[in-house]
Amino acid sequence: MSMAVADGRARNRRLGEEIVAAVLFLLLTAIPVVTSGYVVYILPQYMLYGMLAMSLALLWGNVGILSFGQAAFFALGGYALGIVMKEPLAINPAYVGLLVALVSAALIAALVGWFLFSAGVRDSYFVLVTLALSIIAEQIAVSQSQWTGGWNGLFLMRMDLTLGSALTYSLTEDAPAYYAVLVVMVITYAVLRALTRSRFGKLLAGIRENELRMTSLGVSVPLCKTLAFAVSGAVASLSGALYGMHSGFVSPSLGGVQFSTEIVVWVAIAGRSSLLAALIGGITVSSISNLLSSITPQYWQLCIGILFILVIAYFRGGVAAALPSLLGRFRSHP
Amino acid sequence: MGSFAGVLIDATLITLVLALAATGLAVVFGLIGVVNMGHGAFLTLGAYFTWAGIQAGLPFLIAVVLSALGVGLIGLILELVLIRHFYDRPFETLLLTWGMFLVVTELIKIVFGTDFRNVPSPLPGTLSMGDIQIPAYRLAVSLFTIVLLFGLAGLLFHTSVGLRVRALVQQQESAALLGLNVERLYRQVFTLGAALAGLAGALISPMLSIDPYIGNVFLVRSFFVVTLGGLGQILGGTVVGSFIIGGSETLFALFSSQVVAQTIVFALAIVLLRFRPTGLLGSDRR
Amino acid sequence: MEKTFGRVSRRTALKGVAGAVAAMAAPSVITKAWAATPIKVGVISPLTGAWTVYGKAHYSGFELAVGEINKAGGVLGRPIEIVVGDSKTEPRIVVEQANRLIRQERVDFLAGTFSSAERNAAGPVVAQSGKLLLYPTWYEGQSQEFYPGVCNKGIFMFGPEPSQQVWPHVDYIMKKHGKRFFLIGSDYAWPRETNKMFKEKFKELGGEVVGEVYIPFNTPQYESVLRDIRNAKAEVVFHSLTGSDTVNFRRQMHAAGMNKDIALWTVDDEEVVTSGLGPEVSAGTYVSFDYFMTIDQPNNKAFLEKFRAKYGPDALVNTVGVGMYNAAHMLALAIAKAGATDTAKVRDALGGLTFEQAPQGPVRMRADDHQAVLPSYLMQVRNNWTGVNDMFQQVQALPSVDPVPAKCKLPL
């Protein structure tokens, strides 16, 4: 009986999430229709931050691995695309660049992940390693200036989506770029969501709950963690590549510790255990930051810091976990 | 030959200053397992308090002592209000202390402004050893660091407080069963760690420019110092860790550029962490 | 105006959060609008983040000039309105802010950004939107490979580049202190390019580079570099570290007792940083720039009076603040000359324009490569200085130095 109730609740929550996701995507689809200008320009960048946040939520919420190194992969994607796009290639260099961004990030994440997870490096120690990854990424971007342009950064062009020679869809204008990013974001969300629902996703959740038990069940915990880290790295890198294309510019601080921790702030505030919450968190927290900073440039970070502490201290699951219970309270006391 | 001695002395001085900066973290992270991301902010606060003390006309040493006490007090307050509720959740403390860092840094900017601040060196001048010149103040701080580390190790191994802390480190539940006031012990250790970070910031302030981000430089390095040395290894661990992070950077820089040296050191730290996850001097109890 | 306001309010309903802010701002727009529509200039300054220490002078230079312009009746009968954007010292945020200012605030011009990386981040935005960016900082010069961050017809440079800041003084320092130079800089484009330019001139004059080191940002300890400098028997350290690293290095060089026998020439440490260093550490070192607070110029006296009246007797200004000040005034002059705020017309009017009242003496904007013709001063820091008024002793002054032509496809 109680099992059935719990099951029903879980189904309700899932249904709730699906409705929220559908509403969000519809809203985002409608925005360029009803308005233009800055909002249409800037939202894709925030959607890409949202994708980046999902890449962290996949690790943190589903596997229990906290990474302060997501920015390193984000920057890797931006630089990979930028460097490849400079080369004259037979096929559309932007496609090659995106592929390189995805594959290189997945490979690096897999190598680093396997190297560490196979030795049982975890928890705070892994956080430390990912912090170092961020520092290393920033240092490499600064020092290898023949490829990266060093501290002065690297310029990228808005790409054209081509199909053979017949079809060309240019992303130079705001609205086409907006929809291209939106489509990638929705697909990424769908894929990651399917992944967490799959058998593999169940394994990851099992690892989060009890690593020893999964090991005794014959699951290779290091392998699962490595795969999750590789997928997360690839998603972060893809969002970074698109970000570079969209903003036209990448620089080393994109890979740095400060940006990495900003991502953690978004996800923590929004709720680490839901991909959708992370996505919304990435979009809204960065929007609010932008908004606050144009009203009170001197105090915006203080506000974010205080909000962050409050959320961690009082709403451990973030806003996503706090909202339903608050709403529930409203409902039961009309 | 003189140049070799020079390198050795440089590496030693760098190692010891880094060890000083990491001591507070070695206590907090190493003994009670709090991943204190606010460590950098504590260092920064120590430096600013010292600057404020000097501005108010206090002698340097008094300013240093007051800074350490002041930061210790702030640590105590934060422990009482926030940290103590989260000892059993390492990720939450990590995040909370990171939030602390964000807030403290912003408050510093609002209270002290963002101009470069400057604490004059209380011991100007250099000592000559053959053709090698050693800055007097830096030497004094290095010697003090050695005394401090031995003092802490002595405290830990030869006093009843130390005994209790070690019992806690070894086995938390049985420490509680033995009737130790675990909560109070945690509070004392956290406060001590904050005060030590404040002390380090105060002592380092005459060597560096003081800006709201001064502690950041030491934050990640300090974490690696503590982890590589081995948690709980206050004396040997901190020195060995500092040498690997700070001293070896000096040595690598002899053969490559500074940027490459820093990158190598961090990569090396990751590799060491993998093969010795309990630290170079850590026991295998974990 | 009615019509414009109507459009704004319709959007407000649709834009959600972003629009709500515009709506809150709208009443102030209306009250000003009955006089004349202001000319909007977006100013991007490092108000938070690592370069905050420069942000104050950077922003107040522009603000002061705009106040003066408006008090004198504005331009074309219209006041100038500043819309500020905080760069947070992050190129990533510069992209956001530059777009916000152009697309949402609908500014007519952009001014500011501080570091080369920030300017480069704004480059593509400027190129795409067809707006102008007025850049105030001393920088590494232009080269076509870094388009659109430089060699961009929408960007005007109001600060000096190495052929102005460095070349005129190499000879003097060599003759006075010797030919063995050690170069130390932060590891990025500006120090590397500056040193490259420096070496060009230096080799010509027969100098010898005995060491060249680039330091990553946020390096706290400098023992090994100081040892190299001593072992190389350097006579002069040519210094282009930035941020807190410059202070850390110089304090440690001083602590090592090396200032006694090695001269130091910095192309970074203006009033703000030298104040941070304090008198003991900075005494005797050379600094070169296009502007110092202590230069003996009638224009400067008038400028400082106004600056201090507005920001207090202890407020600091520097080459960047003055760059921003000149940028605002020259923009106003160009708009007046063009008779419109149209980008192309103002761009043409600004090229070739001279600003007679610039604090450092008349400043001319070169038309073909958008670089300013500026004075160049070499100063030596006095012993026991007590404040900016007695900080620098003038050693050499050139009233007007033409920069080398930008390495771009000219004219821009």
Q: Does B137 touch chain A (CB under 8 A)?
A: no
Long-range contacts of C127-130 (CB under 8 A, 24+ apart): C127/C152, C127/C154, C128/A248, C129/C102, C129/C103, C130/C154, C130/C343
Q: Which helix (H) or strand (E) holds C228?
A: helix C223-231
| A-chain residues near C189 (CB < 8 A) | 145, 149-152
Kindly report whether the peptide bond that precedes residue C411 is cis, defined as omega within 30 degrees of 0.
Answer: yes
* Structure-derived torsion over alpha carbons of residues A278, A283, A285, A291, reported in degrees to the nearest 10: 180
Is B114 a residue whose pLDDT tops 90? Answer: no
CA distance C118 to A194: 40
Q: Choose the closest CB to C276 out of B10, B209, B213.
A: B209
Q: What is the structure's pLDDT at B230?
A: 82
Residue A254 is classified by DSSP as: G
Q: What is the structure's pLDDT at A6?
A: 57
Higher-pLDDT residue of C404, B254: C404
CA distance A235 to A242: 11
* Contact check, Cβ <8 Å, C88/A293: yes
Position B32 confidence tier, pLDDT thresholds 50, 70, 90: confident
Least reliable range by pLDDT among C24-33, C262-271, C369-378: C24-33
At B54-74, the pLDDT tens digits run 999 999 999 999 999 999 999
Q: What is the structure's pLDDT at C35?
A: 62
Residue B238 lies in a domain: no
Percent of chain B with pLDDT over 90: 38
| A-chain residues near B96 (CB < 8 A) | 309, 312-313
Q: Does B90 touch chain A (CB under 8 A)?
A: yes
Q: Does A299 touch chain C (CB under 8 A)?
A: no
* Contact check, Cβ <8 Å, A251/C120: yes
Contact by Cβ (8 Å): B97, B34: yes
Mean pLDDT of the region A100-118: 96
Q: Which residues of C touch A (CB under 8 A)?
A: 11, 14-19, 21, 47-48, 84-86, 88, 90-93, 95-97, 99-100, 102-104, 116-117, 120-121, 123-125, 128, 146-149, 187-190, 192, 216-217
Q: What is the structure's pLDDT at C18?
A: 43
Closest chain B C-alpha to A119 CA, distance in angstroms:
6
Closest CA to A125 of B244, C42, B269: B269
* Contact check, Cβ <8 Å, A121/B277: yes
Closest chain B C-alpha to C71 CA, distance in angstroms:
30
* Contact check, Cβ <8 Å, B220/A139: no
Sign for the pseudo-dihedral over CA of A287, A292, A298, A302: negative
> Residue B173: which domain range?
2-214
Percent of chain C with pLDDT over 70: 92
* Alpha helix (H) residue ranges in C316-396: 319-338, 343-350
CA distance A51 to C352: 48
Least reliable range by pLDDT among B137-151, B168-182, C183-197: B168-182
Position C362 confidence tier, pLDDT thresholds 50, 70, 90: very high
Is C208 a residue whose pLDDT tops 70? Answer: yes
Closest chain A C-alpha to C69 CA, distance in angstroms:
24
Helices (H) and strands (E) in chain A, counts: 14, 4
Average pLDDT, chain C: 88
Position B184 confidence tier, pLDDT thresholds 50, 70, 90: confident
Q: What is the structure's pLDDT at C155?
A: 96
Say if strands C263-266 and C236-240 run parallel, antiparallel, or are unpaired.
Answer: parallel
Amino acid (1-letter code) at residue A101: A
CA distance A30 to A22: 12
Amino acid (1-letter code) at residue A29: T
Q: What is the structure's pLDDT at A168?
A: 85
Q: What is the structure's pLDDT at A331?
A: 52
Q: What is the structure's pLDDT at C401?
A: 96
Q: What is the structure's pLDDT at B1?
A: 40
Is B256 a residue whose pLDDT tops 90? Answer: no
* Contact check, Cβ <8 Å, C90/A143: no
> In whole angstroms, how far apart are CA A105 and each of A56, A180, C11, C87?
14, 22, 41, 29
Residue B121 lies in a domain: yes
Per-residue buried b or exposed e for A4-42, using 16+ beta carbons within 10 Å of the residue's own CB? eeeeeeeeeeeeebeebbeebeeebeebbeebbbbbbbb
Mean pLDDT of the region B222-233: 85
Q: What is the structure's pLDDT at B98?
A: 85
| A-chain residues near C149 (CB < 8 A) | 152-153, 155
Contact by Cβ (8 Å): C271, C243: no
Closest chain A C-alpha to C187 CA, distance in angstroms:
7
Q: What is the structure's pLDDT at A294?
A: 67
Position A113 confidence tier, pLDDT thresholds 50, 70, 90: very high
At B72-112, the pLDDT tens digits run 999 999 999 999 888 888 778 888 998 899 899 889 988 98
Mean pLDDT of the region C99-128: 93
CA distance B33 to A314: 22
Q: What is the structure's pLDDT at C305?
A: 96
Residue B227 lies in a domain: no
Mean pLDDT of the region C153-172: 96
Contact by Cβ (8 Å): C231, C224: no
Residue B230 lies in a domain: no
Closest chain A CA to residue C129: A173
* Contact check, Cβ <8 Å, A308/B100: no
Q: Which residues of B touch C (CB under 8 A)?
A: 3, 6-7, 9-11, 13-14, 17-18, 109, 114-118, 120-121, 124-126, 133, 135-138, 206-209, 211-214, 216-218, 246, 250, 253-254, 257-259, 262
Structurally, at CATH architecture level, domain A11-332 sits in Orthogonal Bundle (1.10)
Higher-pLDDT residue of B280, C298: C298
Q: What is the structure's pLDDT at C25?
A: 44
Closest CA to A140 of A96, A75, A86: A75
CA distance B190 to A16: 43
| C-chain residues near B126 (CB < 8 A) | 255-257
CA distance C410 to C366: 12
CA distance A124 to A127: 5
Q: Does A144 touch chain C (CB under 8 A)?
A: no
Long-range contacts of A277-280 (CB under 8 A, 24+ apart): A277/A57, A277/A318, A277/A319, A277/A320, A278/A50, A278/A53, A278/A54, A278/A56, A278/A57, A278/A61, A279/A24, A279/A50, A279/A51, A279/A53, A279/A54, A279/A185, A279/A189, A280/A24, A280/A50
Domain count, chain B: 1
Say if strands C372-381 and C363-365 run parallel, antiparallel, or are unpaired.
Answer: antiparallel
Mean pLDDT of the region C88-96: 88
Max mean pLDDT among A125-129, A139-143, B161-165, C108-112 falls in C108-112
Position C333 confidence tier, pLDDT thresholds 50, 70, 90: very high
Q: Which residues pair with A229 in a beta bridge?
A: none
Q: Choose the closest CB to A248 out of C17, C47, C124.
A: C124
Position A10 confidence tier, pLDDT thresholds 50, 70, 90: low
Higher-pLDDT residue of B131, C275: C275
* Alpha helix (H) residue ranges in chain B: 2-32, 39-55, 60-81, 90-112, 136-158, 160-170, 172-177, 182-204, 216-229, 236-242, 248-255, 258-275
| A-chain residues near C84 (CB < 8 A) | 294, 297
Average pLDDT, chain B: 86
Q: What is the structure's pLDDT at A2?
A: 52
Domain spans of chain A, in order of start: 11-332
- Whether ipTM tops 0.90, in short, is no
Q: What is the structure's pLDDT at A71?
A: 96
Mean pLDDT of the region C45-66: 89
Q: What is the structure's pLDDT at A87?
A: 86
Amino acid (1-letter code) at residue A333: H
Interface test with A, best of C217, C240, C241, C245 (most A CBs within 10 A): C217
CA distance A49 to C98: 19
Least reliable range by pLDDT among B57-66, B243-252, C114-123, C205-214: B243-252
Kindly report whether the peptide bond that precedes residue C27 is cis, defined as omega within 30 degrees of 0.
Answer: no
CA distance B9 to B13: 6
Mean pLDDT of the region C341-351: 95
